A and B are shown apart, each in its own frame.
Chain A
Amino acid sequence: MLLIKGGRLVDPASGTDSPRDILIEGERISAVEAPGSIAARNGDVQEFDAAGLIVAPGFIDMHCHLREPGGENSETIETGTRAAARGGFTAVCPMPNTRPVHDNASVTRSMMERAQSAHTRVWPIGAASIGSRGDALAEIAAMQKSGVVAVSDDGHPIATAKLLRQVMDYCRSLGMPVIDHCEDTSLAAGASMREGPASIRTGVRGMPAATETIGVGRDIQMAELTGCRFHVAHLSARGSLEMVRVAKHKGLAVSCEITPHHFTMIDEEVGYDTHRKMNPPLGSRDDREALIEGLADGTVDAIATDHAPHEPATKEVEFDRAPFGITGFETALGLALELVHAKQIGLARMVELFTTGPARVLGMHRRLAAGESADLTIFSTEHRWTYRAAESASKSRNTPFDGREFRGGPMATIVAGRVVYRR
């Protein structure tokens, strides 16, 4: 038994934001009570002093890359979930762009097998098409049966509107969301950053914001046609957010996520730093403002890291030759708290973006109540610390936030009653 005492419980599902003690027995929460009112029981209760800390439902990262199978030099399910646990995440959703591509249930089963010894829950996302090549539907129902929670051809958009329609029709009947990396590939071809004054200055080939908005527009129209739940991965442009807002007003089952790097950095900061190269690329100052508005006003459903590890040599090259992507598990909460400290979003709203928001997209629930699975994230809003990439639990070091000083961050991560990380 584990008694978490003296913390401030922030639970978006019940609207709670007040001091509570939580008792965990085995894998489940057995009591959530006012401070001091959980009766002392005999002997074997471990106590966790959460005084001054926030106790929240377990954080979910609905977009990451664990690179296993096939990319074990840059990350494995073990190292990736260890980094995720250190970032406060209790569940992560790895994208299917592994080698081989996660497009069938035997890959799902082997991942779930490996995930038995992972540090967090692993809820994989399967490929929408075979090999993510955009030709034919993958074995979506079989993958779902083995543990897949959504489909996506992430890294690429689902290739054609016709295939997207099939995928959406299929997934609607399965009750599964379709997640798309929205992009017009002809505009993205050869580009390494967002097109704008910054790309013009450095001479780096850029892609305009329309590269993403064209894709979002196509997908929302298809979601309307099919009635399928559609989720925009790593949304980065004001225009995309506005389309999602309109779609939500119309009552469509459309949702979106934003990464910490897109709400923290802008294209002017890229220079030739390959640790600031990702796809979609960092947007303009105006885009960043729009994203923060969307985080605050409820248009955005989730903060997701798009944790994309790459071994050092691959990023130690010319800017236009470097692969896209940066790591993100360990810095996500610290960066989100920067928005809270700047009073751009409230603390409860931030917790929602890490918990009930992504859970709702995935058709799950997340709350702190007796009988629920004991998945909790305990964090500080004040603890001062400096991120050191060299000390990361990830196998990779490709972060632009090395040396950044944070105010607040994860203090303990609990998955099914087990403390998987404690600072």
Chain B
Amino acid sequence: MIHPETSAAAEARVAPAETVPFRFNDLLAIEPLRADEITFLLDQAKPFQEIQHHPLKKLATLRGKTVGIAFFEASTRTRISFSTAAARLGADAMQLQAESSSLQKGESLLDTVRTLDAMKADCIVMRHGSSGAADFVARRLEIPVLNAGDGTHEHPTQALLDALTIRDRLGRLDGWNVSIIGDILHSRVARSNIHLLSRFGCRITLCGPPMWVPPELEHLASGGEPLRRVSRVEEALDGADIVIVLRVQQERLHEPKLPLDEYVMLYQLTPERLGLARPGALVLHPGPMIRGLEIDPSVADGPQSCVLDQVTNGLAVRMALLFLLIGHGGEGFPAKDNS
């Protein structure tokens, strides 16, 4: 039940900005965003961060709106985060999960999302195992598409919530030394973070088993310096302000398997290794964490770890995006370019 005063007060704070410097009708990737657009999105999330700490968290802002949540790949955290974000804005969620969907019966992706469209969803939040799947759907539907992770391409809301976390903890986003450790090649989180943080002049170092950190990654971020690749994790951590630890995605590997004991030996973020970073360096992990594999439990639970902040900020970022993409009823946005 909504407390009328709380709701009204909170809604006043999330009133839309006078002008919306956001050119897109969808959020498919970080790569096309400019720094000022990213800053705008993070600023938009600010009031929603506060709401997470209210005793009554539900707004009526999107009452009557429906968010289609279409996950074609197993996920618990991100799906619950988006569902909760929709609920706290007063929107209804229409859930579609791969295990129960007609995709299992051979229906095409396009037919599936057209069904959600025909049920008059106001936007689609989608996760899919194929890179480019969100782009594919966005080009074919009028309603906004919010990419919750497409294959090994991008996971834009993860990068935004990471950026919000960094900005809150360190006061700004610009100019940090950021080390990303793990399977960069197959990580959509890494790609989105690389695009976002390089927009703000962060110096990014990539480290992991060599077949997961191919040379082509050096030029992933357009403009600016090439990314640094190092093979020893100690070298990667030396002087780092921010350490992003990636999950070892054993389910995603098409390759011959790596010996996991050696991964632990060579790349695990241990307290000793974290000691090489700047004092107070932040540790981020997109979750789910596998303690004892990519990260030592004492680091995961230590004072430098941001993992729980990341989860809370995920709600704020996703609420802000849902509000931005469907809360305006299309006003203030250019017509969708489906070319």
B188: chain A residues within 8 A (beta carbon): 203
Cβ-defined contact, B216 with A320, below 8 A? no
Interface string of B150-166 (1 = CB under 8 A from A): 11111000000000000
C-alpha spacing A109/B33, complex, angstroms:
59
CB within 8 Å for A317 and B109 given contacts A202-B153, A203-B151, A204-B132: yes
| Nearest chain A CB to B135 CB, angstrom units | 5
C-alpha spacing A197/B220, complex, angstroms:
7
Cβ-defined contact, A317 with B110, below 8 A? yes
Interface of chain B residues 227 through 246 with chain A (CB within 8 A): none
Question: Please, which residue of chain A has its CB at the minimum distance from the CB of B154?
Answer: A203
Interface string of B183-207 (1 = CB under 8 A from A): 0010010010000000000000000
Of A189, A197, A203, the contact of B131 (CB 8 Å cutoff): A203
B219: chain A residues within 8 A (beta carbon): 197
Interface string of A271-292 (1 = CB under 8 A from B): 1100000000000000000000
CB within 8 Å for A197 and B216 given contacts A203-B154, A318-B130: yes
Cβ-defined contact, B254 with A200, below 8 A? no
Q: B128 an interface residue at 8 Å Cβ cutoff?
A: yes
Q: A387 an interface residue at 8 Å Cβ cutoff?
A: no
Q: B133 an interface residue at 8 Å Cβ cutoff?
A: yes
CB within 8 Å for A316 and B132 given contacts A200-B214, A203-B154, A205-B254: no
A205: chain B residues within 8 A (beta carbon): 152, 254
Of B109, B154, B216, the contact of A318 (CB 8 Å cutoff): B109
Cβ-defined contact, A203 with B152, below 8 A? yes
CB within 8 Å for A320 and B131 given contacts A200-B214, A200-B220, A201-B220: yes
C-alpha spacing A203/B214, complex, angstroms:
13
Sort chain B's interface into a size bin.
20 to 34
C-alpha spacing A142/B100, complex, angstroms:
52
| Nearest chain A CB to B185 CB, angstrom units | 8
C-alpha spacing A319/B31, complex, angstroms:
19
Cβ-defined contact, B132 with A272, below 8 A? yes
C-alpha spacing A205/B255, complex, angstroms:
12
C-alpha spacing A280/B97, complex, angstroms:
34
B150: chain A residues within 8 A (beta carbon): 203
Q: B108 an interface residue at 8 Å Cβ cutoff?
A: yes
Question: How many inter-chain contacts with C-beta < 8 Å in the A-B complex?
Answer: 60
C-alpha spacing A201/B133, complex, angstroms:
15
Q: A227 an interface residue at 8 Å Cβ cutoff?
A: no
Cβ-defined contact, A318 with B136, below 8 A? yes
Question: Please, which residue of chain B has its CB at the minimum distance from the CB of A274?
Answer: B136
Q: B96 an interface residue at 8 Å Cβ cutoff?
A: no
CB within 8 Å for A320 and B151 given contacts A202-B132, A205-B254: yes
A316: chain B residues within 8 A (beta carbon): 108, 110
C-alpha spacing A205/B186, complex, angstroms:
9
Interface of chain A residues 241 through 273 with chain B (CB within 8 A): 271-272
Interface string of B98-111 (1 = CB under 8 A from A): 00000000001110
| Nearest chain A CB to B234 CB, angstrom units | 26
Q: B276 an interface residue at 8 Å Cβ cutoff?
A: no
Interface string of A315-339 (1 = CB under 8 A from B): 0111111000000000000000000
Residues of B within 8 A of A (CB): 31, 108-110, 128, 130-133, 135-136, 150-154, 185, 188, 191, 214, 216-217, 219-220, 254
**Interchain residue pairs with CB less than 8 A apart (14):** A190-B254, A199-B216, A200-B214, A200-B216, A201-B220, A202-B131, A203-B131, A204-B132, A205-B152, A313-B108, A317-B136, A318-B109, A318-B130, A318-B133
5 tightest Cβ-Cβ pairs between the two chains A and B? A272-B132, A203-B153, A203-B131, A318-B130, A203-B152
5 additional A-B pairs beyond A200-B220, A201-B220, beta carbons within 8 Å, are A190-B254, A200-B214, A203-B131, A203-B151, A205-B152
